[in-house]
Amino acid sequence: MTSREKILTRLSGSMSTPETKPGLGFEPSDHPDLLESFVASLKAAGGEAILVEDPERLDERIRDTFLGTESLIDTRRDDTVDLETMKGCRLAVFEAAFGVAENGAVWIDPRERSPHALLTLAENLAIVLDRRTLVPTMHEAYARIDFDGISYALFLSGPSKTADIEQALVIGAHGAIGLKIFLL
């Protein structure tokens, strides 16, 4: 008998197809002002929200915010990037599909368009997000994700961080040291 068969034999009492499964027994909390909640949550996660009122000026705002970033990779335009370029990348621009008000997380699905290494190798991340896509909680967030076609995708909430040395929060562990979200 293979290990698989042995394990499944031991689990034979739990093989039945479930007829129903427990649902949410409550209404998720409301966030009356999604934008306000999102901005506050992102700040708590160590990130920063930048409101862009004029979409025409988005690229300008990104450039102005990260002054002196020559090595920029913009995944909205640049298709393929080699590892060497990514290693030296000071700023990468990503587009997020939507954001979550309760925790400041954004859903990023790089697909084949951009290598997922860039998300962690880039020193700074500029993320472009349409403020109309904000949802209140993770329940609404998962309800809108279609997993078909996804290889690797993530919720990213602020820059990478650690508190493994004496509980002291340090921003910039292995991934981005800075993260700003440009809300259109």
Between residues 45 and 126, which has the closer beta carbon with respect to other proteins? 45
Q: Which of 27, 54, 56, 82 binds other proteins (CB under 8 A)?
A: 27
What's the CA gap between 147 and 135, in Å, rounded? 18
Between residues 14 and 53, which has the closer beta carbon with respect to other proteins? 14
Q: Kindly state the smallest distance separating residue 45's Cβ from other proteins, in Å.
A: 7
Q: Could you say whether residue 21 binds other proteins (CB under 8 A)?
A: yes
Q: Kindly state the smallest distance separating residue 30's Cβ from other proteins, in Å.
A: 9
Q: Kindly state the smallest distance separating residue 52's Cβ from other proteins, in Å.
A: 24
**Segment contacting other proteins by CB under 8 A, of 3-11, 68-76, 91-99, 126-134:** 3-11
What's the CA gap between 8 and 76, in Å, rounded? 46
Calculate the alpha carbon distances from 44 to 41, 65, 104, 121, 127 in Å.
5, 20, 8, 23, 17
What's the CA gap between 71 and 90, in Å, rounded? 6
What's the CA gap between 181 and 130, in Å, rounded? 10
Strands 106-108 and 124-129, by their bridges, are unpaired
Residues 77-106 that bind other proteins (CB under 8 A): 83, 87, 100, 102-105
First-residue to last-residue Cα distance in the chain = 59
80: tokens are 């393929």
What's the CA gap between 181 and 100, in Å, rounded? 12
Between residues 93 and 136, which has the closer beta carbon with respect to other proteins? 136
Q: Kindly state the smallest distance separating residue 63's Cβ from other proteins, in Å.
A: 25
Residues 34-53 that bind other proteins (CB under 8 A): 41, 44-45
Q: Could you say whether residue 11 binds other proteins (CB under 8 A)?
A: yes
Between residues 27 and 54, which has the closer beta carbon with respect to other proteins? 27
